[in-house]
Amino acid sequence: MIETRSPILLRAQFETLFRVSQVLSRSLDFQQTLREVLRSLEITGHLSRGMVSVVDPDAGDLTVHAVHGLDSEEYEPVRYQPGEGLIGMILEGGRTVAIPRLGDEPRFLNRLGLYEKDLPFIAVPIQVGGALQGVLTVQPDEPDDGLLDERVRFVEMVANLIGQSVRLSLEVAQERKALAEERDTLRRTVRQKHGFDNLVGHSAPMRRIFEQIRMVAKWPTTVLIRGETGTGKELIANAIHYNSPRTRGPYVRLNCASLPETLLESELFGHEKGAFTGAVNSRKGRFEMADGGTLFLDEIGEISPPFQAKLLRVLQEGELERVGGGRTIKVDVRLIAATHRDLEAAVETGDFREDLYYRLNVMPILPPPLRERMEDLPEIALFLLDRLGGIQSRPLKLTAAAQRRLAQHSWPGNVRELENCLERAAVMSMDGEIDADLIRIDKLRSGPVRTSVAAVSPAPTFRAVAGDEDEAGEAEPGEPNERQRVIAALEQAGWVQARAARLLGMTPRQIAYRIQILNIEVKQI
């Protein structure tokens, strides 16, 4: 009887090994793969009630990882300590256990109520590089027929194949863990780099900006950042994204002034293969790249009216079509735009669509120019010096005379001009100490030294530098700044904005914008 059945068993085992090898080569989903292996053992190998337990590297015990015919939600978590029951014996000794009739073994625990006592029982170690990684347990479908040793050798072969899969899954798990840790580290670094810590200042205008960022970051509202060049519009956009619920999503940036209109459409909306000469492949645009995250469009005021209409559709409908394509693509993008242009004037002249203006200007943020928050100048200068010192790998410091020299300038180029000035001075400094003679002010824009700024904000005070008591000359008188000019016109017009606008040669919308960005408190008369 045995001789007639052994070839049949051998053929079944070969077929099962083939199926098992196919299953193990198909997927890196370890748990799903194990279920498929146990299913193959039952269908063609006539080995049912398969179970795989895996060693917990932290606790050192065995955890049931996969059971044929049962999902993990259908049984309570089961663990085996070394020497506990038949499975724990393998964890302790690392040797195969084969029982002709399971009911005759008093050490059997049957915690899952899975196994038949009248059938044989086979449990073999799963090893990787000589180290025990788990245990494979099965039961033949019929009582012992004298072929238990052959079945044991076959199950050991399957366990060896599973061991290779375990090795690969462990390597993948370790790589995923390392990537996740690196990703989290990078996220923390990026959030720190682009968060509030990179926005320096404690003046009233900056405190107002911080509060606006905190409020608007929570919602997917469109934000329009308006201000002069060099006032930190991109830093504000970064802070909004990295403090928002979309921080885990993509953050895509584009300067609209850096591309001609023909390329801008393809860059924002993408294109299909063959849409134009050179379009050898289909390509996603910035809107699609930013799906689920944030898109920052700098210099939004530079785009032409025809392109403004295309942009408006995306903002209103959340839909776009690639250049050369007819398929409508839905996108979920939070838009942050920035401009230094007077959009109200552009609307008046027809250079900017009024409907797009209202769509963008949902939540305006107006970073003040440096001349209107001169009390922040010492803190900004020290922040920039610290960053420059890190780049140059040496400490940098300002003398008292250099500090006074900085305080006398009105900084028409704002923080960007200040940074360039300090970097030039740091390069010219031999010992890292920056004195007044190294502070070279650009004369590209003939701005007077600071005089009337004191009416807007208190004079800045720098951290004292011992041993330097040079005196600086008095600032020369200059022309009244724009804020004073607008206030004078308002007072002359009895604080009627339309009348003041006519005095200044502006439209009512333009003067309303200036009142807002210049932080002018309108008097009620």
How many angstroms separate the CA atoms of 348 and 270, rounded? 32
Q: What is the pLDDT of residue 260?
A: 84
What's the CA gap between 298 and 508, in Å, rounded? 26
8-state DSSP, 244: S
Cα(361)–Cα(481) distance, integer angstroms: 27
CA–CA gap between residue 411 and residue 390 (Å, rounded): 24
| Vertex 203: Cα angle to 199 and 205 (nearest 5) | 80
The distance of Cα 41 from the centroid of its chain, to the nearest Å, equals 45
The DSSP string of 159-219 is HHHHHHHHHHHHHHHHHHHHHHHHHHHHHHHHHHHHSGGGS---SHHHHHHHHHHHHHHTS
Tell me how far apart the alpha carbons of residues 1 and 247 are, in angstroms, rounded to a whole number: 70
pLDDT score, position 455: 34
Whole-number Å distance between alpha carbons of 245 and 137 = 47
Alpha-carbon distance 470 to 467, whole Å?
A: 9
Residue 284: exposure state from Cβ atoms within 10 A (0-12, 13-18, ≥19) = middle
Q: Can you tell me whether residue 452 is helix, strand or coil?
A: helix
Please say whether the dihedral angle defined by the alpha carbons of residues 174, 180, 186 and 189, taken in this order, is positive or negative.
negative
- Closest CA relative to residue 87, chosen from 142, 130, 156, 134: 134
Q: Provide φ and ψ at 64, rounded to 5°.
A: -65, 120
By the 8 A CB rule, do 480 and 489 touch?
no
Q: How many residues belong to the chain?
A: 525
Q: What is the pLDDT of residues 184-233, one digit of tens each?
A: 777 677 666 666 667 888 898 999 999 999 999 999 999 999 999 999 99
Task: DSSP letter for 459, please.
Answer: P
- Closest residue by Cα to residue 119 from 90, 97, 142: 142
d(CA 518, CA 520): 6
Helix, strand, or coil (residue 365): strand
Each residue's pLDDT expressed in tens, for the chain with a length of 525 residues: 344 457 778 888 888 888 888 777 776 677 778 888 888 888 888 888 888 888 887 777 888 878 887 776 667 778 888 888 888 888 888 889 899 998 888 888 888 888 888 999 999 998 877 788 888 999 998 888 888 888 899 898 888 888 877 777 767 777 888 888 887 777 677 666 666 667 888 898 999 999 999 999 999 999 999 999 999 999 999 999 988 999 889 999 999 988 888 789 899 999 888 888 877 888 899 999 999 999 999 999 999 888 999 999 899 999 999 988 888 999 999 999 999 999 999 999 999 999 999 999 999 999 999 999 999 999 999 999 999 999 999 999 999 999 999 998 989 999 999 999 999 999 999 999 999 999 988 765 444 444 333 333 444 555 443 334 333 333 333 334 788 888 888 888 888 888 888 888 888 878 888 888 788 887 766
Task: Tell the CATH topology of 204-365.
Answer: Rossmann fold (3.40.50)
* Cα–Cα distance measured from residue 353 to residue 365, given in angstroms and rounded to the nearest whole number: 20
**Tell me, what DSSP letter sits at residue 493?**
T
Domain range list for the chain: 2-174, 204-365, 370-455, 482-517
User: Which whole-number Å values give the CA distances from 154 to 13, 54, 151, 419, in the listed order?
Assistant: 7, 20, 5, 73
Q: Identify the H or E element spanning 151.
A: helix 148-194
Which pLDDT score, from 0 to 100, does residue 193 have? 65
Q: What fold does the segment set 370-455 form as a domain?
A: Helicase, Ruva Protein; domain 3 (1.10.8)
Q: How far apart are CA 246 and CA 268, in angstroms?
A: 20
Identify the sign of the CA torsion 172, 175, 180, 181.
Answer: positive
Q: Which whole-number Å values give the CA distances from 32 to 128, 133, 417, in the listed order?
A: 20, 18, 60
What fold, for 2-174? Beta-Lactamase (3.30.450)
Question: What distance in Å separates the CA atoms of residue 336 and residue 353, rounded to the nearest whole number?
Answer: 18
Contact 158, 63 (CB under 8 A): no
